[in-house]
């Protein structure tokens, strides 16, 4: 069984937001909401400043508090460790939204909670997630973190990287290359 994750090269990301548009189109994300977004993070002290541009989304955490706290079982984990929300089981109570340190979820206008699915419908067909496929600089990589031959594993082995808010203990599966 794979353990899916993403590796994103922040050196190559130009902040074009094509990944955001692709996701909205692929997943019929309603106007005014998003499953992925761009962050411009300025680090360091003047004059030694550095800006990291990041495409962010649900981290499909290994130790997912949104799944643990869900009272109906709507938030659940499927093959490859992908975290999903069963829209029919979701009551819109927002416990998962409060539990997620990454602000990765939103309440869909139809009343259920929604978020990134790693485009599981595409992954099941052997394709990359929509955001990964459209990225013009090819800075996003999707694959099996447990397979030493996968591109994501090779990148993590060869390049320094970080994950977001590791101190929250959720064990996120999206990594950003420096």
- Contacting residues toward ligand SF4, per CB under 6 A: 13-19, 22-23, 26-27, 35-36, 38, 55, 57-61, 64-66, 83, 100, 102, 104-105, 115-119, 129-131, 135, 137, 139-140, 170
Q: How far is the CB of 46 from ligand SF4 (least distance, A)?
A: 25
When the beta carbons of 12 and 154 are compared against ligand SF4, the nearer one is 12
Q: How buried is residue 77: exposed, middle or buried, by Cβ count under 10 Å (0-12/13-18/19+)? A: middle
The tokens describing 74, both together, are 């709507």
Cβ closest to ligand SF4, residue 14 vs residue 51: 14
DSSP letter for each residue of 30-76: PTT--SEEEEEEEEEETTEEEEEEEEEE----TT-HHHHT-SSS-EE
Sign of the Cα pseudo-torsion (43, 44, 46, 47, in order): negative
CB of 148 to ligand SF4, least distance (A): 23
C-beta closer to ligand SF4: residue 7 or 140:
140
> Nearest approach, Cβ of 128 to ligand SF4 (angstroms)?
8
Q: DSSP secondary-structure letter at 110?
A: T
Residue found by looking up tokens 């004059």 in the block: 47
The CB-of-138 to ligand SF4 minimum distance in angstroms stands at 8
Q: Measured from the CB of residue 158, what is the shortest distance to ligand SF4 in angstroms?
A: 20
Instruction: Considering the complex, state which of residue 54 and residue 154 has its C-beta at the smaller distance from ligand SF4.
Output: 54
C-alpha 20/C-alpha 98 separation (Å) is 23
């Amino acid at each position: 069984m794979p353990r899916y994750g993403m590796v994103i090269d922040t050196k190559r990301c130009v902040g074009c937001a094509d990944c955001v548009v692709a996701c909205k189109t692929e997943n019929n994300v309603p106007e005014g909401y998003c499953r992925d977004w761009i962050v411009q993070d300025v680090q360091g002290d003047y004059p030694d400043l550095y800006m990291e541009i990041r495409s962010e989304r649900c981290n499909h955490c290994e130790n997912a508090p949104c799944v643990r706290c869900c009272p109906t079982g709507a938030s659940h984990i499927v093959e490859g460790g992908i975290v999903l929300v069963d829209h029919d089981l979701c009551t819109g109570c927002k416990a998962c939204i409060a539990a997620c340190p990454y602000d990765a979820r939103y309440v869909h206008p139809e009343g259920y909670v929604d978020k990134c699915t790693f485009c599981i419908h595409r992954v099941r067909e052997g394709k990359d997630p929509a955001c990964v496929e459209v990225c013009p600089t090819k800075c996003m990589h999707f694959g099996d973190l447990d397979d030493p031959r996968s591109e994501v594993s090779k990148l993590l082995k060869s390049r320094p990287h970080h994950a977001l808010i590791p101190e929250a203990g959720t064990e996120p599966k999206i990594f950003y290359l420096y």
